[in-house]
Structure 1
Amino acid sequence: MIEAYDASLALKVQRYMRAIDRVRSLVGCLLPRVMLVDTGMVRSWNDVCIRTARGGRPYVERNSSGAHVDFNISHDGDWVVMAFSTCDKVGVDVMETTLPHFEESSTSFCDTMKQAMTADEYAWVRQGASDAEVLSRLYDVWTYKEALTKNMGLGLGFDFARIQVEFWHSKEMPSLRMDDHEESQYRFLEVRLPSGICYQDASPATNLPPNGARQTFTTTCKNRDAVGGRGSQVAIAVGPRACTEQDAAWNCCVSAEQASADGWLRIWTYEAFMEFARHVHEMTS
């Protein structure tokens, strides 16, 4: 399918030595194309035009409807994820919430990541009541910062310590500071995903959420032999935009079940997604 659409994308996928990395690259390439065509933002598969901005951020160069659309991709562990919006810019990050094999404990991992945190963030993470809570807080800080910098299109060399996400005031709606100044134009969504193995028998998805959705988050489990065995955390940064009355009641922490019920989360197995992508490609090429 990739070869039929874009030879350069085929080369990008095939350059990876490990099969799992080729799968990640393939799904990451297909997700935005399927979204654009299935929602009617682009008339046909061949009309999709995705470019890369300075800092490596992908963007849609044009679409048939002329409407705004933004998307962002991330992958880790069992999941490849995409967030997209018809109203705002989005950035997304997913991390498997397990201790890396090279770390002895959650506290040692926290010390390893200390340079990416402010002093207040580091203190908050270390104050977790258990190793599990320390690890959970560390992933809160990391995924939110990663999602925000991806939203902004900041490169890999950006100093994460310039950002402070103040979870200690409110986990449901943390305040944000950047370069020691309050930043009020961004909001976060957090979704906890179970191990991908939980979805190995999931039925195929028939379509993406409706075009009218403000923000939508889609995930694909890489394969039936899920590699992680543990859950993953997803953070989505939305903005910049002016605060509204609706934002005052914003709850950033949502379960996968609730997000699915509300219509802005779609989950596929790898096999189901590839089947759907082939269908979209064949119908619009």
Structure 2
Amino acid sequence: MNIFKMTNTSVRWAFNFTKWNPSHSDMLLASSCVQTEEKDRLSRFYFRKDFKSSLIGRLMMRKFVCQASGKKYDEIKFLRDDKGKPMLFESNTYPNLDFNISHQGDYVVLAGECSNVKLGVDVMKLEYSGGKSLDEFFRLMTKNFSPEEWVMIKSSGTEKQQIAMFCRHWCLKESYVKAIGVGITINLQDIRFKVNTSVLDKNFIVDDTELYIKGMKVNWKFQEMLLDDQHCVAVALNDTSNMNLVFREIDFSELMEGCVPFLPRDEQYCLNYFRKCERP
């Protein structure tokens, strides 16, 4: 097997897709830089916001793999595993490469490594917009958190602070289950996080949160920070020596640097996008 030489690239990218209002030419370019099956999947989204976030995620993956592997942009091919997680078609050729994306709220995020670590990433908007009271919502979510986690969540202070701590714990759990490749299909009460630094910041990484599985401490590292006042992000890594890296916001211009379109530019496809509603 021919193993390609990888760079020592580690990236943490964030893209605020609510700031991106693509022109017709932007959409022509972007939609010509994703695979046919991805393009078909995108077309089924009813709202522009969902279309945009998914499209940006695919483009971020392609940019990272191109940058990290040196493989030609238009020769990169992605598949999905049996859990629906995107993966590189030639993953055996790049054994040290791992990446993960997440989108929620206003952001799409990507964490990528070329150092033979397993990782997962998740982003959460720090809000609760359900119709029920917060107490009722927490009651319905009881089974997803351990008693110790509920103490941490409910003792965080104001209702806003409790929501933020709830979202932070959910973000941590999502990042871990994505890293191990099981999705939210396991007993989440068995996964307990002990938060040692109660407040996150936009300018540096918090990495002292501990993970316990069925009461036993597990040697994983979690990198947490705020993207802005309303969004938190967490990266789970199975290598505690991995360096901390702050998420950096990129825009459409940087995202498309070095891109090579490999599908014909599709005028009708773009017109169909602009006919969609922005959001519910």
User: What TM-score, normalized by structure 2, do the two folds share?
Assistant: 0.71
5 Å matches for 1:264-283? 265-269=247-251, 271-273=252-254, 276-277=255-256, 279-281=258-260
The residue type equivalent to 1:50 in the other structure is F
Do the aligned partners of 1:42 and 1:63 also contact (CA within 8 Å) in 2?
A: no
The residue type equivalent to 1:115 in the other structure is K
5 Å matches for 1:101-140? 101-105=130-134, 107-140=135-168
Partner of 1:92, secondary structure, is strand
Q: For the residues of structure 2 that align with 1:22 and 1:5, how far apart are their CA atoms?
A: 13
Equivalent residue, structure 1, for 2:213:
178
Equivalent residue, structure 1, for 2:14:
none
Cα offset for 1:114?
Answer: 1.6
Partner of 1:281, secondary structure, is coil
Equivalent residue, structure 2, for 1:28:
57
Q: For the residues of structure 1 that align with 2:73 and 2:187, how far apart are their CA atoms?
A: 38
5 Å matches for 1:1-285? 1-3=30-32, 5-39=34-68, 41-62=69-90, 66=94, 68-87=96-115, 88-105=117-134, 107-167=135-195, 169=196, 171=198, 172=206, 173-184=208-219, 186-194=220-228, 231-239=230-238, 241=239, 243-244=240-241, 259=246, 265-269=247-251, 271-273=252-254, 276-277=255-256, 279-281=258-260
Q: 1:157 to 1:63 in 2, by over 3 A?
A: closer
Q: For the residues of structure 2 that align with 1:112 and 1:164, how far apart are their CA atoms?
A: 18
Q: 1:170 to 1:266 in 2, by over 3 A?
A: closer
Do the aligned partners of 2:33 and 2:59 also contact (CA within 8 Å) in 1?
A: no
Q: For the residues of structure 1 that align with 2:248 and 2:102, how far apart are their CA atoms?
A: 15
Deviations 1:27-84 (A, max 9, x none): 1111110111134x14212321222223222222337984611111111111011111
Cα offset for 1:282?
Answer: 5.2
The residue type equivalent to 2:213 in the other structure is M
Q: For the residues of structure 2 that align with 1:139 and 1:64, how far apart are their CA atoms?
A: 35
Do the aligned partners of 1:48 and 1:63 also contact (CA within 8 Å) in 2?
A: no
Q: 1:17 to 1:30 in 2, by over 3 A?
A: same
Q: For the residues of structure 2 that align with 1:123 and 1:94, how far apart are their CA atoms?
A: 23
Q: 1:4 to 1:163 in 2, by over 3 A?
A: closer
The residue type equivalent to 1:181 in the other structure is M
Structural RMSD (CA): 2.8
The residue type equivalent to 1:272 in the other structure is S
The residue type equivalent to 2:223 in the other structure is L
The residue type equivalent to 2:119 in the other structure is V
Partner of 1:164, secondary structure, is strand
Cα offset for 1:152?
Answer: 0.6
Cα offset for 1:100?
Answer: 1.6
Partner of 1:188, secondary structure, is strand
Q: For the residues of structure 2 that align with 1:165 and 1:75, how far apart are their CA atoms?
A: 22
Cα offset for 1:2?
Answer: 3.8
The residue type equivalent to 1:178 in the other structure is I
Partner of 2:185, secondary structure, is coil
Q: For the residues of structure 2 that align with 1:180 and 1:9, how far apart are their CA atoms?
A: 41
The residue type equivalent to 1:183 in the other structure is V
Structure 2 unaligned spans of 5+: 1-29, 199-205, 263-280
Q: For the residues of structure 1 that align with 2:33 and 2:157, how far apart are their CA atoms?
A: 54
Q: For the residues of structure 2 that align with 1:147 and 1:12, how far apart are their CA atoms?
A: 24
Partner of 2:45, secondary structure, is coil
Aligned length: 225
Do the aligned partners of 1:54 and 1:153 also contact (CA within 8 Å) in 2?
A: no
Partner of 1:16, secondary structure, is coil
Cα offset for 1:279?
Answer: 4.1
Do the aligned partners of 1:42 and 1:64 also contact (CA within 8 Å) in 2?
A: no
Structure 1 unaligned spans of 5+: 195-229, 260-264
